[in-house]
Amino acid sequence: MPSMSAEELFLPSTPGKFKDKSHSMQRQFHRCFASTSTMFLWALFLVALTAAYLSFVDSGSKYFNTAWGGIHWEKQVRASAQIHRTNGFSVLVTGAAGFVGSHVSLALRKRGDGVVGLDNFNNYYDPALKNARKELLNAHGVFIVEGDVNDAKMLARLFEIARFTHVMHLAAQAGVRYAMENPHSYIHSNIAGLVTLLEACKIAEPQPSIVWASSSSVYGLNEKAPFSESDRTDRPASLYAATKKAGEEITHTYNHIYGLSITGLRFFTVYGPWGRPDMAYFSFTRNILQGKAITVYRGKNHADLARDFTYIDDIVKGCVGSLDTAKKSTGSGGKKRGPAQFRIFNLGNTSPVTVPMMVGILEKHLKVKAKKNLVDMPGNGDVPFTHANISYARKEFGYNPTTDLQTGLKKFVKWYLSYYGYNHGNSVK
Ligand SMILES: O=C(O)[C@H]1O[C@H](OP(=O)(O)OP(=O)(O)OC[C@H]2O[C@@H](n3ccc(=O)[nH]c3=O)[C@H](O)[C@@H]2O)[C@H](O)[C@@H](O)[C@H]1O
């Protein structure tokens, strides 16, 4: 006889069935609690059980999420946060198993900063790639905590263990078009997660300086080129862009009320080795090698779309430059003690390239001709072009991107082939 689920036991499929079951249950109940003293003992037992359960829940998610907590875990966090150079930083890097996060973590570690990573290893794209990045970081002495930026208890514990001087916040739900499929994941990571992190930073002693990833997508329907930080950003074209724009406003509030030093970075279509498989240059490479067709979007009147593709090493320099020039937060005890620094920088390459040209470069490096389907750009959050004005970042910390798309994609293809080979099948999303 098939067994019943808990819901099937207590919820009626028909009133008749429900009646029968409740009668037999009442009989059992009476048999069980035949006397008042037995009933009293049962009640006591239930109260004790509930109390034990509540204290179990309250003692932290470490009991439910074996990924954080415990003496060994704390030892790893402490060791990873250790600074190995004079006047070095101790940095919490969120999204450390991600594309930009892993590169930035490595760069900081290599120059002697303490780095603790945090990542939830979600399956937005192949987690095996995130794990491989994690292995790489581990080999360089960077420990990545497995956890979500929405986990306030875990964050509080991290800030207790390691007195971070800086937070490099790169954890986010990325991708412009995926926002139409899973809108709530953007609210969860890019808004709720950001606020949870800022709450933790606000009460941390000392308050860290924060550098975080905004996006070129905040320029939305802006048509004035190149995009300057002072241009309009109130017309986002995607929910992704809207959450990043919201992040800029939210961080301003925390800067204003609590004295947190905050720098937002508007990244322009970052690409390179260890990149994100959901991005066009990456998925195109996979499809070209597998002999599959790629879909190339076109804009109004069949105009080519263009992006200010920016190579990962240039972005890393921009992130490190931002950290190095970030002033200290001014708050303590959760209160502002003076005005604090608030900045927003474009980090782009300043030379947009059309998508068909990008495909041409890939064909050349892969030595394979792409099968192209040209399709009118669907109304899915895309914008026709991006183009960064980087003079502000240049003035503040000498930001100077030096890698053009030819060179950068050559390095990407080299990495791709060494990592996956020519024939890596369908294992990557
Ligand atoms: O700068 C950012 O802030 C964002 O950059 C990135 O978004 P995008 O610039 O849209 O990059 P990406 O998806 O690689 O599409 C590139 C081009 O290929 C076109 N494209 C795309 C897919 C496809 O199948 N066909 C196609 O033509 C497409 O129309 C576009 O013209 C990050 O993903 C995002 O997380 C965010 O960080």
Contact between residue 282 and residue 248 where contact means Cβ atoms under 8 Å apart = no
For the chain, how big is the Rg over CA atoms in Å? 26
Strands 114-119 and 143-146: parallel
Buried residues in 198-221 as b, exposed as e (16+ CB within 10 A): bbbbbebeebbbbbbbbbbbbbbe
Rounded Cα distance, 333 and 207, in Å = 9
Nearest CA to ligand 1 atom 4: 269
Ligand 1 and 174: CB distance under 6 A = yes
Both tokens of 2, joined, read 């098939």
∠ Cα 371 372 375 (to 5°): 155
CA distances from 398 to 305, 314, 352 (A): 29, 11, 21
Given ligand 1 and candidates 297, 314, 371, 373, which is best to mutate, with the most ligand atoms within 8 Å of its CB? Answer: 297
Could you report the average pLDDT of every consecutive run of 10 residues in the chain (429 residues)?
35 32 43 54 64 44 63 98 98 99 99 98 98 98 98 98 98 97 98 98 98 98 96 97 98 98 99 98 98 96 97 99 98 96 98 98 98 93 96 98 98 98 61
Q: Which tokens sit at 223?
A: 């048509």
Q: What pLDDT does residue 423 have? A: 73
* Torsion angles phi and psi, residue 296, rounded to 5: -110, 120
Task: Give Cβ neighbours of residue 121 (< 8 Å, ≥ 6 apart).
Answer: 97, 127, 130, 131, 134, 146
Q: Whose CA is nearest to atom 8 of ligand 1?
A: 269
Q: List residues with catalytic annotation.
A: 240
Q: Report the alpha-carbon distance of residue 133 to residue 18 in Å, rounded.
A: 54
pLDDT tens digit sequence for 217-263: 999 999 999 999 999 999 999 999 999 999 999 999 999 999 999 99
The predicted structure's pLDDT at residue 67: 78
d(CA 154, CA 144): 13
Q: Coil, helix or strand for 396? A: helix
Q: Is 267 in the pocket of ligand 1 (CB under 6 A)?
A: yes
ipTM for this prediction: 0.99
The model's pLDDT over 332-389, given as tens digits with 9 standing for 90+, comes to 999 999 999 999 999 999 999 999 999 999 999 999 999 999 999 988 889 999 999 9
> Of all protein residues, whose CA lies closest to atom 25 belonging to ligand 1?
296
